[in-house]
Amino acid sequence: MRKAIVTGAAGQDGSYLCELLLDKGYEVHGIVRRTSSGGETRLTHLEHDPNASGRFFLHHGDQLDTGRLVQLLSKVEPDEFYNLAAQSHVRVSFEIPESTVDVTGVAPLRALESIRLLGLETRFYQASSSEMFGSTNPPQNELSPLHPRSPYACAKVLAHHLTVNYRESYGLHAVSGILFNHESPRRGENFVTRKITKAVSAIVRGEQQHLFLGNLDAKRDWGFAGDYVEAMWRMLQADSPDDFVVATGEAFSVQQFCDLAFGHVGLKWQDYVRYDARFERPAEVDHLLGDASKAKAILDWTPTVSFEELVTRMVDADLQSSDKSVVDLTTEHNDAHSHS
Ligand code: G4F
């Protein structure tokens, strides 16, 4: 049975990836950070899934704790290691730049170096980000210049280059997946898409009057997270390690997202959305639009969910959820809470 370690297992991508790997017959070891905020709710269903019984293990661990990492790597000897853990909120990275760079930029080095020193044959996936392109003109592909615009993006650039460097220097089977924004009903509530869809549902229920947002003009290439974890897996199955952009090839503004989300329930976003400068960033990334033709050609990967379908799925999921929220176990604080 093939074995995989997934860091950041409790996050949106981690939960989808654990599901995918279990479906494919893997033994999956998720690493989660202990927090005071409670259980790993995105993973609870897997812990109780009889099909995953004896194949799904959760371990407490921290991106800053090399000893724990070495211990788990030596014990599991995984075939594949997916490094998804990060402080992943761009605006928050301006508030806590040093810890962001440590967790998001230096921690992948700990994993790469540990795999190398232990002499493991483990294939390594680094979750790189389209934020690395920053102010580079769209469309962006694997050859586009990197111009990061936040501490988060700088950290991702460091980890990306380290991944490439360990591949070139030591022959590690290490790949960097440059993923454009990817969303789902499991998205953390402080990212703009989920913040909007949660607000739409709260407004429909009469629980909220306004939605406070920052820059509505930024454009993003938004795909479905479930599709993107499939791309991660395909990258590690390829014969030779390489770097891939994963994107839909279409970009929409935050305002267009609002338009569709509010429109889906028969409301006009203009009646509810209010500007709040606190959600602006010191440096913005204006336009991300990915060219994923290499992933299509080599991995035979294409997205399956359109932008419109993604938005309506997210709104519908929030409308249906009687529960107020999925606990967000990522490290960033919540825009909604910081506003209340
Ligand atoms: O949803 P966002 O916070 O995502 P962002 O900054 O694009 O980063 C996400 O995607 C990256 C991949 O490209 C990942 F690497 C990263 O970890 C994360 O998953 O913001 C999207 C846009 C930004 O331009 C932001 O300025 O929405 C704008 N925005 C406007 N009002 C807002 C808000 N963003 C947030 N989070 N909250 C607002 O109120």
Quote the tokens at residue 212. 């406070």
What is the pLDDT at residue 40? 57
Whether 148 contacts 131, CB under 8 Å: yes
What is the 8-class DSSP label of residue 52? Answer: G
- The pLDDT of residue 48 is 87
Distance 52 CA to ligand 1 centre (A): 34
Ligand 1 pocket, residues with Cβ under 6 angstroms: 88, 90, 129-131, 180-181, 190-193, 195, 213-215, 218, 220, 254, 279, 281, 284, 288, 335
φ, ψ at 51 (rounded to 5°): -70, -25
Q: At 152, which amino acid appears?
A: Y
d(CA 278, CA 281): 8
Q: How far is 98 from 100, CA to CA, in rounded Å?
A: 5
Backbone angles phi and psi of 303, in degrees to 5: -70, 150
Can you spell out the DSSP letters for 134-145? TTSPSSB-TTSP
pLDDT of the residue at 38? 64
Residues 6+ apart with CB under 8 A from 107: 63, 64, 83, 85, 86, 159
According to the model, what pLDDT value does residue 145 have?
A: 98
Active site residues: 129, 131, 152
The end-to-end CA distance of the chain, in Å, is 48
- So what's the pLDDT on residue 41? 79
Q: Classify burial at 169, counting beta carbons within 10 Å of its beta carbon; exposed 0-12, middle 13-18, buried 19 or more.
A: exposed
Homologous superfamily of domain range 192-220+251-288+305-333? UDP-galactose 4-epimerase, domain 1 (3.90.25.10)
Question: What is the reported pLDDT for 53?
Answer: 86
How many other CB atoms are found less than 10 A from the CB of residue 52? 20
Handedness of CA 153, 85, 181, 299 (dihedral sign): positive
Q: Which atom of ligand 1 is nearest to the CA of 86?
A: 17
Q: What is the CATH number of domain 3-183+222-246?
A: 3.40.50.720
Q: Which parts of the chain have pLDDT scores under 70?
A: 38-40, 322-340
* CA of residue 137 relative to chain centroid, distance: 22
Residue nearest (by alpha carbon) to ligand 1 atom 11: 181
Give the number of other CB atoms < 10 A from CB of residue 37: 9
How confident is the model over 87-141, as pLDDT tens digits?
999 999 999 999 999 999 999 999 999 999 999 999 999 999 999 999 999 999 9
Q: Measured on CA atoms in the order 144, 147, 153, 154, is the torsion positive or negative?
A: positive
CA of 287 to the centre of ligand 1 (A): 11
Dihedral of CA atoms 78, 176, 193, 147 in degrees, nearest 10, equals 150
Distance (angstroms) between ligand 1 centre and the Cα of 192 equals: 6
* Of the candidates 274, 260, 254, the residue with the CA atom closest to the CA atom of residue 192: 254
Pick the residue whose CA is nearest to atom 15 on ligand 1: 129
Identify whether the C-beta of residue 88 lies closer than 8 Å to the C-beta of residue 152. yes
What's the CA gap between 96 and 331, in Å, rounded? 11
**What are the start-end ranges of the H helices in the chain?**
12-23, 44-47, 66-76, 90-95, 97-100, 107-118, 151-170, 192-204, 225-237, 254-264, 293-294, 307-320, 335-339
Q: In this structure, are residues 10 and 61 in contact, taking their beta carbons and an 8 Å threshold?
A: no
Q: How far is CA 227 from CA 180, 184, 265, in A?
A: 12, 10, 26
State pTM to two decimals: 0.94
Q: For residue 128, count CB atoms less than 10 angstroms from its CB and return exposed for 0-12, middle for 13-18, buried for 19 or more.
A: buried
- The whole-number pLDDT of residue 74 equals 98
How much distance in Å is there from the Cα of 258 to the middle of ligand 1?
14
Provide the residue ranges of all domains of the chain, joining segments of one domain with +: 3-183+222-246, 192-220+251-288+305-333
Phi, psi for 322 (deg, rounded to 5): -80, -30
- Return d(Cα 269, Cα 164) in angstroms, integer: 43
